[in-house]
Chains A and B, each alone.
Chain A
Amino acid sequence: MSHTRSYAPERVHGYAQIRDYAAIGDGRTIALVAPDGSIDWLCLPDLDSPSVLGALIDAERGGRFLLEPEVPYEASRRYLPDTNVLETTFATSAGHVRLTDAMTLPTGALSPYRELVRRVEGLAGMVPLRWRIEPRFGYGAAKTRFERRAGIPVALSGRDALALCSWEAGEPEYGEQAITGRFKIGEGGSSLLVLSAAHQEPLVLPSREDAEVRLQETARSWREWAPAREYSGPWREAVIRSVLALKLLVFAPSGAIAAAATTSLPEEIGGERNWDYRFSWPRDAAFTLQALLALGCAPEARAFFSWILHASQLTHPRLQVLYRLDGRAEANEEALSLAGYRGSRPVRVGNGAADQTQLDVYGELLEAASRFASATGGLDRDHGRRLAELADFVCESWEQPDAGIWERRSEPAHFIQSKMMCAVALGRACELAERQLLPAKHGERWRREQERIREFVETRGYSERKRAYVQSAGEEELDASLLLAVLAGYDQPRAPRLLDTVDAVRRELARGPLIHRYLGEDGLPGEDGAFVACSFWLVEAYARQGRLEEAAALMDELVPLANEVGLFAEEIDPATGDFLGNIPQGLSHLALINAAVSIEESRA
């Protein structure tokens, strides 16, 4: 991807636009970098740990790591091709400099527990730069001490520590709860700043040579991984960027995939629809398996599937809506006393949706199991037994109301998409049992209950007036999640009612190429934007229905809505194009990949 545009970065009350952020990561945590060279988000040591740089959710007290020219400038950015290494070029009247940012991957040399490398290269002229790091441990609430180790400035807080190693980047000075520096760089010059983090161990203070080698090796490692992905269609650049973004969200120590890198970026600026997405949702299993297997990421797919079945053991046969990245089930939600992104409060950590009942999850998981079994040739016996118990649980539970796929905090209801996915769950269980991958003793019951569910959906979940399936039983409201009936195979893709439903979703929920989840009340004040994943689901639904021209045309409209480096947040404001919600959002990128792959498969 080449540099897309050059512009002078702006902030509103200290906040960059959500769409301004690029992500760098190392498979354990992710940092978000703004075009003005400020890293505004970094949780340490892991993605779901408290933030140390959290200006994203409190510009005053959150902490940041700024590195920018001291004179007015324009910035342009790109990822180095096929990598998650970010390159920002600053153009000033005094000259040009290039900033390369990466979270490095460990090498054979003794590597820091976590390492963020920022390399500056002078391209032309002589450019004055300044840097300033304000570490704020524990979401800004923990006390921080500043000291020196072997002459290197460090910040300390309890079991965590940071060292700021710098070369050719000016003499580090202590400011007010910050370490700062200024330097000039000329053509051909090179400076390096390294943030070394330790957790429950002594700090590793890297040498410049080792940090430079790790930066090169990190780029090489990404470059070797990305081109091996198996997609050669017209949206390859977007697909590869999406799978690279997904790879960032894979929590390597466990194989879990985080829904997004951030917490509490609002679905409505100034509103209260602010959620912590640094958890893994079993719901995403089918989308994830589909995308990873289609792109030849079998090891990641296997790890994620194993992780889900491992994590859900403690709550078996009930599937919790979400699990922590280390597999634990607790996700207690609390509000932090932070200002919130552009005043969007509360800032939540933890996620109360964990305790909800969402029946569609079972369908997603059994659909994922079916895909996994087809791709790998089978399921192990213990997994098969547990999946059969899940199917039994669906038989007992499907008649209950639930919170639905959108995790609505209003009263539970009989969401039609949930019922459809229960039918899918039992259908997949029957198919797997026929292939002797699941114990078949309850097969007859599964088939009988599947028929009962279908009867419920067809009699109470379809509106003749709307000519579409509806959000919940007996209501008339539409819901974009009903597109998943096509994607998950609730019925034949070109079944008349599904064709009508897809058309109705486009007709009633679309704003330009973007699709809202729904338009009615959901128990929370305010409104959200259009949901990126739903928009790509519509593309995939078209593709599966053989409507390839519509699919490709919509895809062509959606892909350019990514930010300048190819990332998507959860939502987009159709009126302004602003991003809303957490970023980068795994589900958005999964949906993009699956849409692109489905078009190619349908063409084939």
Chain B
Amino acid sequence: MIWGALVGGLAGTLVLTTLLRAASEFGLTRMDLPFLLGTAVTADRVRAKAIGYGLHFGFGLLFALAYYAIFLVIDRSGFLLGGFFGLVHALFAGSALVNILLPVVHPRMGTGFTAAGSAPLLEPSGFLLLNYGRQTPLATIIAHVAYGAIVGGFVSLAS
């Protein structure tokens, strides 16, 4: 069953990344999660993207394991429940994870209280990632619900 979560995490992250990239191409958002993650590690843009994609897929697997743990505890799984987890995940990401926690650990991201200082700063995401475009919350929620549904579906299939 844990393999179901891992495979689901991989497939879900793939779909999530594709949906967010498509939203970016259609001009709905400037959200770029691999770029945000990668620039926490390096200032080199090319390396940042490569590292960022690696980190993004790594986090995708970790979140899938977290979903799996909850499925075990409540003894239920499925794509609908997974989709609900994805919704909560998206709201958490937009309100706390990327908005509050990421700037704390990200050496190059500003907060609402930072002025341009000596270090280069990345534009902060704002509540629900709204700084990256008004449609960003919608795109993020849809992508994460898809991710959660895929993880939930794979866990359910594996069990």
Contacts and interface: CB of A to CB of B under 8 A. Distances in A.
A496 interface: no
A200 B110 contact: no
Given A161-B123, A202-B36, A207 B117 contact: yes
Nearest to A148: B112
A420 interface: no
Interface centre among B115, B117, B120, B133 (most CB of A within 10 A): B120
Contacts of B159: none
A208 B36 CA distance: 22
Given A150-B111, A150-B114, A202 B125 contact: yes
A205 B121 contact: yes
Interface stretch (A102-110, A422-430, A517-525): A102-110
A204 B133 contact: no
A45 to B, nearest CB: 12
Interface string A359-392: 0000000000000000000000000000000000
A159 B30 contact: yes
Chain B interface, >50% SS class = loop
Contacts of A206: 116, 120-121
A111 B45 CA distance: 8
Interface string A201-226: 11111111110000000000000000
B127 interface: no
Interface string B11-29: 0000000000000110111
Contact of B39 (A108, A110, A147, A150): A110
A163 interface: yes
Interface in B103-120: 108, 110-120
Contacts of B124: 149-150, 202
Given A110-B108, A151-B115, A158-B133, A205 B123 contact: yes
A159 B116 contact: no
B88 interface: no
Interface string A192-206: 000000111111111
Contact of B110 (A109, A149, A159, A161): A149
A152 interface: yes
Nearest to B111: A150
B43 interface: yes
Interface residues of A, number: 31
Contact of A205 (B27, B45, B118, B120): B120
Given A110-B120, A149-B110, A201 B32 contact: yes
Contacts of B43: 108-110
Contacts of B32: 200-202
Contacts of A203: 122-123
A159 B115 CA distance: 24
B104 to A, nearest CB: 15
B95 interface: no
Contacts of B39: 110
30 contacts: A109-B43, A110-B43, A111-B120, A149-B124, A149-B131, A150-B123, A152-B115, A156-B133, A158-B28, A158-B133, A159-B24, A159-B27, A159-B30, A198-B30, A199-B30, A200-B24, A200-B25, A200-B30, A201-B35, A202-B30, A202-B36, A202-B122, A202-B125, A204-B121, A205-B120, A205-B123, A206-B120, A207-B119, A207-B120, A209-B118
Q: Which 10 A-B pairs rank lowest in CB-CB distance, beginning with the nearest?
A: A203-B123, A110-B43, A158-B27, A150-B110, A202-B123, A159-B27, A201-B32, A205-B121, A200-B24, A110-B120
Given A111-B120, A159-B30, A159-B133, 15 more contacts: A108-B44, A110-B48, A111-B45, A147-B131, A149-B123, A151-B114, A159-B27, A199-B30, A202-B131, A202-B132, A204-B120, A207-B117, A207-B119, A207-B121, A210-B120
